[in-house]
A and B are shown apart, each in its own frame.
Chain A
Amino acid sequence: MDYLYDGSFEGLLTCIYYHYYREKASGIYQQEYYQPALMTDSTEVITDPMLAARVSTAIEQKISKTSLDLVYRVFVSSAANKEFLILHYLRWGFRLGAKVDLYYSHPDVYPLQKIAHKVTAEVHRFLGLLRFADAGNFLYAVLSPDHYILPLIADHFADRLAGERWIIHDRKRDLAVVYDGHHAAEDSARYQRQWYITDFPHPGPLLFTQKEQYYQKLWQLYFDKIGIESRCNPRLQAQFVPYRYRGDLVEFKPIFIKNDG
C-alpha cells in the first residue's frame, strides 16, 4: 500500500503511524507528486495531529532526541526519496533504539546523515548570508535556499532582532517568515519567538528608503576596502560564497560608486 500525505511533517508522521497500526507501507509519497503505479494500491492519508504527536514522542523516547532532529532535517531537505529513507531509518531505529545513531555508516543511516549534514550546512550558511534591507517600517530579506530551511532559521532571527519587524522571504517556495517585534515588545511575556510562516507569492515592488541606500553603499565600500590586494584569491572566495547566492548579497550588487574622497 502506498501512502499519500499532504506534504506536512505531521502528515508524514501520520503515515508512519498507519504503517505500524494499519497496513505496512510500500512507499510514502507527497500527494501532489504521486504517480500511480499499476500494481500497488494507494490511499490518501488525512493528517492527524494527535497521531503525529504520538509518533514524534515515540521517536524521542524509544530512539532519541537527536534521531527526531535528524528525521526533521531530512524532511525539510529537497532529497527526492526522503520519505522512503525516513521510513527505513525509523523501522531500523524502533528495532535498535538509541543505538541506531552509532551505526553511522549503515546503509539505512548514512544517507540520512549525509542529507541532514547538507541541511545543517545550509542553515548555518544563511545565518550569515541573509541580508536585510530597511523598507521603511519593516526589514525585508530574500533567499532561494536549496532546502526548506525557513523554520530552522526563524528562531535565530527572532531572538537576535527581537525588537524589529521583519520578513524573510523564500523566493523558491513562495513562503515567508513574518515576525512583528513592535507589538511583542509591549507585552514582555510574549516577547520571544512569535513568528509564523505564510504564503507569500508576490512581494510587489519594495520601496527602500534613502537611508537604506546610504548604508548599502557604506557596506559595499567597507567590503571593498577590507580585502588585501596582494592576497587576492577569488577561487577561495567562491568556495565560501558560491555564485548562485550572490544575486541577493548587497556587497555583490553593482550599485557601488567609488568614493575617492
Chain B
Amino acid sequence: MDTMTKLEILAGAAKYDVSCSSSGVSRNNQGGIGNAKSFGICHAWSSDGRCISLLKILLSNDCIYDCRYCVNRRSNDIRRASFLPQELADLTIQFYRRNYIEGLFLSAAVEISPDYTMEKIILVLTLLRREYSFQGYIHVKVIPGADPALIQQAGLLADRMSVNIEQPTEQSLQLLAPQKKLPVLYASMAQLKEQIQIHKEDRRHLRHAPRFVPAGQSTQMIVGASADSDLTILQTTQSLYQRFNMKRVYFSAYVPVNEDSRLPALATAPPLLREHRLYQSDWLLRFYHFKAEEILDPVQAYLDTELDPKTAWAIRHLELFPVEINRASYEELLRIPGIGPKSAQRIISQRRVAAVSVDELKKLGAVFKRAQYFVTCKGVYPGHHPLDPMTIRRIMVPEPPTVQLSLF
C-alpha cells in the first residue's frame, strides 16, 4: 500500500480526535529542525472550521477493541492500514519544513496489544527526536492499558500526552467501551501528573534535567453518545482539572458512525450547540474562577441553549448587579457578562490613572452589548432597561429568524 492511500485512510480515521493545540511549551531550535512556541500556532482550517495545527493521524487503525461509538472498532468492515515508523517520520518532517504543520499528533488503534502499539509509537518519536533532531511539537495519545514504563519513555519524548476518558461516567464507559476500564485510565493520568511534577521539580535544581511532557496532559470525552447530563459532564471535567492538573478537557459532539441500539441513531445530527455551551462553561471553570455547581444545579442540569452560561448565571443572580466598574475587584469584574480576563485587566490598570466611563468601557475591549445591563460607570447605568430577569432575557436572546409561512 502506498503512502498516499495510507494517509487517506489514517487521516480519515483520526479526524474525530479533538485536540489540536500546539501551545504550552517554548523551545528554541538547537541545531536541528523546528521549535515550539508557548502560544501555539494554527496552520490551516479544514472545511468544518476546526483548526489544523498538528498532523493528526493514526499510526494504525487495525484495532482489537470493539468500542461501540468508534469507526475503527474491530467489528466494522473498513480498510485497514498501518504506517511504517520511517514513513510517518519522513512525512512529518516534509510537512513541517513547508510550514503546513506545527508538529505531530500521534494516536493509534490498539494493534495486537496496548504494549505493542505503545512501543511502535515510541519508535516513531525516537526517530523524529534523535534521527531528525526534530524540535517541533509532539502530542501523543496514551494507549489505555499500556505498561507504565512505556508511558514513561514516551513522556520523555513528547510535549503533551493525553489519556482519553471517553465518557463522563464509569457506567457510560462500561456500556459503550466495555474493554476500557476507568481505574486503568485514571492510573495513567495519575502517573503522568506525578512524573510531570517530579521532572518540573528536578529542573528547578538542574538546568539540564530532562523534560517530561512539558506542555502537560489533556483528555477528551464524547458528548451526546450516552445519557449523562451537562451537570455530570461539568462535574467530571472539574474533578479532572483538580485531580490531574489537566491543561485541557476536550469535548467532542458525538457523530454517529455505527448502528447500535445503545447509541443515537445514525441520522442524528451531532449536538454542536451543546458542545459549544460546554466549552463556554469550560472556559468559566478555567479562566473565570467558576465552580461547576455555580453554572448548573441538580434542578437545572442542562445548559441554557439560548444564552451563554455566564449571562445565564448573571440573570439568576441579579441581586449582585449592577457592578460599579471603577470600584469592583478583579474577581467581581470577571463575573460580569461581556467582560473577560483581558478587559478586566485593562480596566484595572486604566482606573489607576483615570476613572472609566461608559464610552471607554467599549474601547477597553468589553462586549458592551452584554455588559451594559450589568454595570455602572461612574455611577451611570448605561442599559436602558430595568434590571429584571424577564426583560433582560427578552432583550438578549436573539430573535429566531422569521420564516415565510407555508401555504399548506
By Cβ-Cβ distance, the 10 closest A-B pairs, closest first, are: A236-B49, A227-B47, A227-B46, A105-B363, A261-B5, A231-B48, A233-B49, A225-B11, A105-B360, A240-B45
Cβ contacts under 8 Å, A79 to chain B = none
**B47 contacts A163, C-beta separation under 8 Å:** no
B394 at the interface (CB under 8 A from A): no
* Residue A122 interfacial (CB < 8 Å): no
User: Which residues between 1 and 27 of chain B lie within 8 Å of chain A, taking CB atoms?
Assistant: 1, 3-5, 7-9, 11-12, 14-16
Judging by beta carbons under 8 Å apart, are B5 and A237 in contact? no
Interface contact A234-B8, CB-CB below 8 Å: no
The answer on a CB contact under 8 Å between A221 and B353 is no
CB neighbors of B among A218-232 (8 A): 218-219, 221-228, 230-232
B81 nearest in chain A by CB position: A261
Pick out which of these stretches binds chain B: A55-63, A80-88, A128-136: A128-136
Q: In terms of DSSP, what is the predominant structure of the interface of chain B?
A: loop
What is the CB-to-nearest-CB distance from A2 to chain B, in angstroms, rounded to a whole number?
30
Complex Cα spacing A163 to B96, Å: 13
Quick one: closest A residue to B3, CB to CB? A218
What are the interface flags for B45-70 relative to A under an 8 Å C-beta threshold, 1 for contact and 0 otherwise?
A: 11111111101100000000000000
Task: Report yes or no: B98 in contact with A237, Cβ–Cβ below 8 A.
Answer: no
Give complex CA distance A156, B35 in Å: 9
Contact A134 B272 (CB under 8 A): no
A141 contacts which of B49, B99, B253 (Cβ < 8 Å)?
Answer: B99
Q: Does A251 contact B (CB under 8 A)?
A: yes
Closest beta carbon of chain B to A220's beta carbon, Å: 10
Q: A137 within 8 Å of B by Cβ?
A: no
Q: Is A237 a contact of B46 with CB atoms below 8 Å?
A: yes
| B255 with A105: CB separation less than 8 A | no
CB distance from B349 to the nearest CB of A (A): 5
The chain A residues found within 8 Å of chain B, CB to CB, are 99, 101-106, 110, 124, 127-134, 139, 141, 156-157, 159-164, 188, 191, 215, 217-219, 221-228, 230-237, 239-241, 249-251, 259, 261
Tally of A-B residue pairs with Cβ under 8 A?
A: 161
Q: Report the separation of the CA atoms of residues A255 and B324 in the bound assembly, to the nearest whole angstrom.
A: 58
A162-B29, A227-B46, A232-B47 are known contacts. Are A132 and B353 too (CB-CB below 8 A)?
no
23 inter-chain pairs at a CB distance below 8 angstroms, sorted by A residue, are A101-B349, A104-B346, A110-B363, A124-B41, A127-B37, A160-B35, A162-B29, A162-B33, A164-B33, A218-B4, A218-B95, A222-B11, A225-B7, A226-B46, A227-B15, A227-B50, A228-B15, A228-B48, A231-B253, A236-B45, A237-B49, A250-B100, A261-B5
Residues of A within 8 A of B4 (CB): 217-218, 221, 259, 261
Q: Is the CB of A131 within 8 A of B11?
A: no
| Shortest beta-carbon distance from B43 to chain A in Å | 4
A241–chain B nearest beta-carbon distance, Å = 5
A133→B98 contact, CB < 8 A: yes
Of all chain A residues, the one with the shortest Cβ separation from B95 is A219
B272 to chain A, nearest CB (A): 7
Given A131-B100, A221-B7, A222-B7, check contact A228 B44 (CB 8 Å).
no
Q: Which of B9, B31, B98, B364 contacts A215 (CB 8 A)?
A: B98
